Structure formats: C-alpha cells, structure tokens
C-alpha cells in the first residue's frame, strides 16, 4: 500500500505499531502491513460511506431472540426504512434471563437472502479467541461474495462470558488489545488476495490464501468503550463503534481523535456508529426491558470479566437498580422524543445511529419508528434514506 492523501502509509502504520509495542500494548507488526491492498480499499470504502447521508439503523439482539425471529425483524426493519442492521456475536448471552444465543453468522447469511439492500454486520465479533482471525476473514469474505457491498465487520476485544467460557482463554486488556490489532492486520492481508505467510506474536499462517473474495471491500469497525480502545479505533479502524454515553465523553472522543490524527487521516473519513437503547412506552415497559439489560451499567467496568451469565444475572439484579439502567434511554410514546434523541447523537458526532429496543414486541417498535419516528428524525437531522 503506497502512501497517499487520506490513506495510511506502510511507514506510518509501522511507526504507530512500534510506538504501541514500546508501551507494552501491542506486539511489533514488522512487515505485516506490506502490500496490504485491502487497507487502502477498505479506507476508501469508509470515505465513500462517510460522504453519504447519515444512517438510522436497527439492532438485532441474539441475546434476547432466536435467529429465525431476528431474520423476520430484519425484513421488517428494511421495509420500515432502516438503513442497516447489526447482530450481536455471542456464545453466551450476557445475562441468563435473556435466554438466547444463536450463531450470528448463520443469521446474517439467512437474513441476506430475505432482504434486498439493507447493510448488515456484527456488533461485534471478537476475532481473537473464540473466532480465529483466519476464520473471520473467510466467513466475512464469503458473506461479501453473497451480498456485495452490503457487509461490514464490527470487531472488539471480547468479553469473558464469551471468550473464556467457550475457550478457557482470557487475558488482561493489554494483551487482548494487542491480539485485536494483530488479528485485524491478518484479516486485511488475507482480503488482499495474496498468499499470506504471517508470523505475528499471537497468530501464524503459512501460505494461506482466500480463493473467493467479494467484489466490494468490507469495512472493519472497532468497538471502544474506553480511551485506549478509542485511540486504537481511530488508528486502525474504518470507524468507531460505541455506546451513546461514551460518544459524548470528551476524554474518549479526544482519544479517538488522537488515533485518527496519528493515522494521518481526517475524522470525516471514518464512520462513527453508536448504539441507542430506546423504549416505546412508559416506565412499566422500560422496567420490563431493563430487566434483561441491567449489566449494561457496569458492562465494561465489571461484568466483562465474568464468564458465567448466571452470575452476571444474579449480581446485576442485586447491585443495579432498574431505574439506573434506563435513566438515559428515551422512554416515550411521543415520536418527537425519539427523533430528538437521534438528532442529539448526530449532533454529538455520530454518523450512524443503531436503535436497540429491549422490548419483547419488536414488531411494534419497528412499526412505530417506521411510521412516526424516522420521518421526523430524517427531517430534523437532514437525514435521507440511502
């Protein structure tokens, strides 16, 4: 990949990785970015997406519903006017009372057959323990072959409830972050179409080659809920995935901008995707939804280290008041309240807002947004359906 405007050069990327390696956060990536054509293609795709209108999307929760139901919700969301969907990628649900955890890549393949143009991806895949990066590279390249121009890959550092529970492997944040960045480098090299021999600190391949690649590049987004991951997302990702509270956090935003600056790009070249929990109803409906999402209050400060969803469920029930769970959610049957909440997220820097309802009646929520919220939100935020 040659250095050019708005694209990371090999030298810049290697310099960044060496700096992080010296700080003990990342392994050296000596030579790993050489000839990484997909990095150029992927960033170009992110630039093109950024230039388009802001997007309002919908979350498909594998924790709360079985895969076939999520496919139906995706079909309804596309008809409603949502621009994209993401599905969670989990082995276990976070809480035992959520009750579901279908294999997400099968859900994506199935919903792609039932929809026509809605963008789809994961929010998010951990490409380090449960999913080896070679497996991730092949799976998402294959999805891109089936559904060209419609696939994105959301990535993160994982949670113990998925990674340690399924593999027995887990590590402190510094190692997980290092694995994350190395995995993304390997995925992009495989997407280049080259024969890849990769000798990283954590992953190795010998003459690996993907024979079927998508006709259009797949952007890789990086999920961050703290300053360190926010900076990595700015440096190595095609965009940031975060929650609505972190989106508005000045320290995390500054870290993201530092990462973007270190990469030699402008923030306008990257997507900023945020998840917004909502309730169509009042306190009763909010409390019912919050029962299954108590962990979100301390998800990445505490519960990320738990490997048993039953223990997360029990401790969250004891320690997290329901009112605290939905304190920042838009809870209303007034469509203007929901439209205003979306506008605030766009004003805070989001380019894509993913609507997430914990309610059982997802069809009602989708219908409410289709008929009452999306027209208002697009008008007030100057958002047109893509």
Domain boundaries, the chain: 10-291+328-380
Spatial neighbors of 361 by CB under 8 A, at least 6 apart, are none
* Predicted model pTM: 0.87
Can you tell me which residue has the tokens 């340690």? 164
Q: How many CB atoms lie within 10 A of CB 5?
A: 7
> Of the listed 62, 90, 338, 356, which one is catalytic?
90
Return the structure tokens found at 121.
């991806």
Known catalytic residue at 90 = yes
Helical spans, DSSP H, in the chain: 10-22, 37-51, 67-80, 104-114, 133-146, 163-167, 173-191, 227-236, 244-247, 250-263, 283-290, 309-319, 322-325, 335-347, 362-368, 374-380
Estimate the crossing angle of helix 104-114 against helix 133-146, to 10 degrees: 10
- CATH number given to 10-291+328-380: 3.20.20.30
CA–CA gap between residue 302 and residue 325 (Å, rounded) = 15
Q: What is the pLDDT along the chain (386 residues), one digit of tens a residue?
A: 323 323 333 333 434 444 344 334 444 333 333 334 444 454 444 444 443 579 999 999 999 999 999 999 999 999 999 999 999 999 999 999 999 999 999 999 999 999 999 999 999 999 999 999 999 999 999 999 999 999 999 999 999 999 999 999 999 999 999 999 999 999 999 999 999 999 999 999 999 999 999 999 999 999 999 999 999 999 999 999 999 999 999 999 999 999 999 999 999 999 999 999 999 999 999 999 999 999 999 999 999 999 999 999 999 999 999 999 999 999 999 999 999 999 999 999 999 999 999 999 999 999 999 999 999 999 876 665 55
Known catalytic residue at 63 = no
> Of the listed 32, 63, 98, 159, which one is catalytic?
159
């Amino acid at each position: 990949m040659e250095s050019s405007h708005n694209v990371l050069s090999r030298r810049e990327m290697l310099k960044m990785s060496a700096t992080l390696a010296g700080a003990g956060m990342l392994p050296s990536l000596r030579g790993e970015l050489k000839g990484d054509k997909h990095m150029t293609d992927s960033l170009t795709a992110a630039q093109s997406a950024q230039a388009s209108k802001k997007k309002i999307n919908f979350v498909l929760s594998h924790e709360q519903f079985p895969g076939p139901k999520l496919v139906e919700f995706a079909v309804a969301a596309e008809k409603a006017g949502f621009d994209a969907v993401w599905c969670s990628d989990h082995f276990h649900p976070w809480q035992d009372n959520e009750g579901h955890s279908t294999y997400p890549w099968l859900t994506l393949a199935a919903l792609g057959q039932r929809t026509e143009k809605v963008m789809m991806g994961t929010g998010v895949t951990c490409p380090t323990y449960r999913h080896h990066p070679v497996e991730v590279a092949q799976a998402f390249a294959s999805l891109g072959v089936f559904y060209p121009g419609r696939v994105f890959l959301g990535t993160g550092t994982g949670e113990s409830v998925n990674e340690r529970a399924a593999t027995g492997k887990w590590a402190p944040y510094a190692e997980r972050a290092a694995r994350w960045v190395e995995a993304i480098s390997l995925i992009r090299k495989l997407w280049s179409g080259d024969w890849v021999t990769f000798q990283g600190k954590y992953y190795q391949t010998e003459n690996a080659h993907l024979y079927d690649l998508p006709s259009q590049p797949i952007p890789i987004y990086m999920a961050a809920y703290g300053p360190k991951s926010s900076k990595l997302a700015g440096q190595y990702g095609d965009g940031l995935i975060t929650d609505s509270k972190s989106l508005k956090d000045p320290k995390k935003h500054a870290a993201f901008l530092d990462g973007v600056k270190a990469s030699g790009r402008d923030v306008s070249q990257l997507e900023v995707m945020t998840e917004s929990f909502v309730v169509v109803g009042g306190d009763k409906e909010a409390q019912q939804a919050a029962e299954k999402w108590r962990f979100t209050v301390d998800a990445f400060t505490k519960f990320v280290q738990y490997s048993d969803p039953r223990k997360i469920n029990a401790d969250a029930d004891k320690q997290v008041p329901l009112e605290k769970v939905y304190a920042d959610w838009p809870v209303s049957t007034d469509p203007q309240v929901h439209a205003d909440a979306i506008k605030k997220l766009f004003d805070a820097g989001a380019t894509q807002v993913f609507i997430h309802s914990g309610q059982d009646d997802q069809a009602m929520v989708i219908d409410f947004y289709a008929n009452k919220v999306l027209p208002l939100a697009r008008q007030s935020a100057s958002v047109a359906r893509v």
